[in-house]
Amino acid sequence: MPATPTVRQAFCISDSLSLFVPEWEEPVLARALVALATKASPAICYVGAAKGDQPERILAFYQLAQRVGFTPRTLNLFTPTTDDPDAYFAGADIIYVDGGSTRNLMVLLREWGADRAIRSAYDRGIVLAGASAGANMMFEWGLTDSVRTRIDPIAGLGILPGTIGIHHDSHPRRPEALAAFLDDPRATGPVFTIDDGVALHFVEGCHAGTRKRRENAGWTWSKLPSRMRVC
């Protein structure tokens, strides 16, 4: 029997609060993420480095697992049990990289070799998901307020082509910062903007669908003509 071809998928969420919704709200985005694994109770590995591996958020992740139906695991880069990148995501069906400081996240991933482990897992068909900083991490470029007084462009891992503008509706400076960066020769296309409450699904690097926590949340797609990847 021929081997099942590997399909690379990514799930980019603007804000982590749209995954960790209150108990009275249907967890639409969390259920959509779990469904991408196409198996019962998939193993999801939580990466909370951007938030300093906060115990409260890890607890919320385990509570979400009970509610939605997945097997929770964690990769803690502040108190690690191994420094072997090959072991970080062993047995995982989905990797979820939480929000927080994109700048700190990128430093920690590279220091511990988790950047290479994430890319390798994605290439093997493990679903890669991230919110806020975790979404920035996937693209060639994103925007971050890691320094709270400004919004700066930041290079991600380039797993997905182009530039992402997360939290696009959360502050008027974000659209301005994105517009300014798109005049920079470093900027790459395609260019996505996502309001809080929006998740974009990618298959083999191409946008394949959109899910929303709230119907009035928006997203956009545009291109930088000379640098756009054709899907």
**125-160, pLDDT tens digit by residue?**
999 999 999 999 999 999 999 998 899 999 999 999
pLDDT band at 231 (very low <50, low <70, confident <90, very high): low
pLDDT band at 1 (very low <50, low <70, confident <90, very high): low
Distance CA 114, CA 101 (A): 16
Q: With a cut of 70, say whether residue 228 has pLDDT above it.
A: no
Within 100-190, strands assigned E span: 127-131, 139-144, 152-155, 160-165
Higher pLDDT, 4 or 173: 173
SS3 call for 104 = helix
Distance CA 195, CA 122 (A): 25
The share of the chain scoring above pLDDT 70, in percent, equals 95
Q: With a cut of 70, say whether residue 80 has pLDDT above it.
A: yes
Q: With a cut of 90, say whether residue 210 has pLDDT above it.
A: yes
Residue-level pLDDT at 195: 95
Inter-residue contact 4 to 125 (CB < 8 Å): no
Which residues carry out catalysis?
A: 132, 167
Distance CA 59, CA 52 (A): 14
SS3 call for 127 = strand
Q: With a cut of 80, say whether residue 50 has pLDDT above it.
A: yes
Residue-level pLDDT at 120: 97
Residues 6+ apart with CB under 8 A from 38: none
Distance CA 138, CA 156 (A): 6
**60-75, pLDDT tens digit by residue?**
999 999 999 999 999 9
Average pLDDT over every residue of 82-100: 96
CA dihedral 69, 45, 161, 183 (to 10 degrees): 100
Q: With a cut of 90, say whether residue 54 has pLDDT above it.
A: yes
CB atoms within 10 A of CB 67: 13
